[in-house]
Copies of this chain bind each other. A is one copy, B any other.
Amino acid sequence: MAKRRRVGNLLALAVLAALVERPRHPYEIAAVLRARGKDQDMPIKWGSLYTVVANLERHGLVAAVESGRQGRRPERTVYRITEAGRAELVDWTRELVAVPEREQPRFEAGLSVLGVLRPDEALELLRQRLDRLEAQLAAQRAALAGHAREVPRIFLIEAEYDLAVREAEATWVRGLLDELTTGALPGLAEWRAWHETGAVPPEWADLADRGTEPHGGLADLADRGTEPHGDLADLADRGTEPHGDLADLAERGTEPH
């Protein structure tokens, strides 16, 4: 699963889809994508477009049809999709639809380091996200409803999907916000205390060390102390580090926010 594509950029998928209808030159492809609102979720990157088309050609997925100037416009190359390209488009689509891939949304990355902010600031920022999210959702819903009157729903499924997922996100954020305001979230008090005093709460002291041992992994939490040699020396080193934790604490004192 997730076979390596000769041309991996998703822009290539859009290019192939645009060329399946008829041969076009790159700039026209860009125009079509823009006209279809593709540039909303994926602003067109010119460098990538030409690289991607060139790569598609190199791999025989598209082929140049004609070149040279027509009318009075600058020179340009028109490409058509090849049989291999058509096959790639279909196969790629199959994979994208059938295989759920773990992705890495930026918000999730943000959540994973949320602890670096003070809880009340986190609360405020989450509120902002929710506001923006709701505004975007309202706009999306309106746009979708408008288009649903002109076009069969089949053509709108990716918009519907996007809407559904983002609604779920909004709901989830709302729930988290609620737990933060009511103080229901376990660990909240320690989080707050840590930011106020600068000291790691005793309940969390051992959590920081996970996976720092060689051969690491959660498993050897249990193994600690029975580890024969070498690893313990390593841990000892850490304790005697010239400016290790002290420097860290010193800096935290001067930290602005």
Contacts and interface: CB of A to CB of B under 8 A. Distances in A.
A24 B216 CA distance: 13
Contacts of A158: 108-109, 111-112
B71 A233 contact: yes
Interface string A154-192: 111111111011111101100010000000011110110
Copies in the complex: 2
A220 interface: yes
A229 B78 CA distance: 22
Contacts of A13: 109, 113
A89 B116 contact: yes
Nearest to A113: B17
22 contacts: A13-B109, A14-B113, A16-B113, A21-B212, A22-B208, A23-B248, A31-B218, A35-B230, A36-B235, A39-B230, A42-B104, A78-B241, A80-B248, A86-B255, A96-B110, A97-B111, A111-B161, A112-B158, A147-B232, A147-B235, A153-B186, A160-B172
